[in-house]
Structure 1
Amino acid sequence: MAWEALQGLLFRTAGSRHARDGERMQRYFRDAATMWTHVCNSMPEPIARRVGRARLGLPSDDIPLVS
C-alpha cells in the first residue's frame, strides 16, 4: 500500500522538478523502489506454502525460497 501511494499519488503529483537527482522525492522513490524489489519481499509466499505443506505432513523441499 505504501508503494502504491508513493508511486501512484505522491510521485505523480509532486511534479518533474522534484524528480531530479538529489531532490528529496527522487530519493524517496529510489529507496522505496529498492525495498520493493528486494528479495525479502518475495519470501512470505513460498514460506507460507512450505509451512502449509509441513502442517499437512507433505514434503516441502521442492518449493524454492528464491526464484
Structure 2
Amino acid sequence: MKWGKKQLTVDENGQSVTVKGTDGTVYVQGTSDVTVTVGSYSTNVDTSGAATADSWSDYAVDKA
C-alpha cells in the first residue's frame, strides 16, 4: 500500500482503498476491495515538532 501527500491510499494494483473509522464512518470511499480501519482520521498535520531541513547552501558548490 502507498501513502502520500495529496495522493489517495492505494493497493498493490493502484486502486484507491477505503479508509473507515472504528465507529463505521467512511472517510475515503475507494474502488479497491481493501479497507483500512483507523482510530482517527484527519487531513491536517501538525508539523510544529518536526526537525528543520538542511539548507541547500550547506551543500552548494561554487562554480569555477
TM-score, length-normalised on structure 1?
0.28
**Higher strand proportion:** 2
- TM-score by length of structure 2 reads 0.29
